[in-house]
């Protein structure tokens, strides 16, 4: 069974700061997902990556398959980035996704 762990659990930062959220997993995978859950509850898929780095606007996701580690970075953070960020990877035998517990990010103006 794949164990997916995220850090930190909670993060409060000032507007404009560079944010890093980490995700590690125990079993080798072919792809890792980063999701964003808004305060209202809706979930948006931010990235699905299997190697290297992907960038979308101010968001950057990286993955190191050998080290079983991924990071999500937010540059020039803004209060609208306040949300829960969740990483997920293949769970192992079930083929479904296993999720980290999420990082609750608050960006203060």
Name the residues that contact another protein, by CB under 8 A. 29-31, 33, 35, 41-45, 48, 50, 86, 88-91, 94-102
Q: How far is CA 49 from the centre of its chain?
A: 11
Query: Shortest distance, CB of residue 40 to another protein, whole angstroms?
Result: 9
Residue whose CB is less far from another protein, 77 or 100: 100
Q: How far is the CB of 94 from another protein (least distance, A)?
A: 5
Which helix (H) or strand (E) segment holds residue 85: the answer is strand 83-90
Burial class (CB in 10 A: 0-12, 13-18, 19+), 97: middle
- Select 37 or 62, whichever has its Cβ closest to another protein: 37
């Amino acid at each position: 069974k794949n164990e997916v762990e995220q850090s930190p659990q909670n993060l409060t930062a000032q507007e404009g700061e560079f944010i890093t959220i980490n995700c590690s997993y125990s079993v080798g995978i072919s792809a890792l997902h980063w999701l964003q859950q808004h305060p209202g509850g809706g979930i948006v898929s931010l990235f699905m990556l299997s190697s290297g780095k992907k960038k979308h606007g101010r968001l950057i996701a990286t993955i190191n398959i050998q080290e079983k580690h991924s990071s999500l970075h937010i540059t020039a953070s803004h209060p609208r980035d306040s949300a829960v960020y969740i990483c997920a990877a293949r769970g192992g035998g079930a083929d479904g996704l296993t999720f980290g517990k999420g990082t609750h990010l608050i960006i203060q103006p």
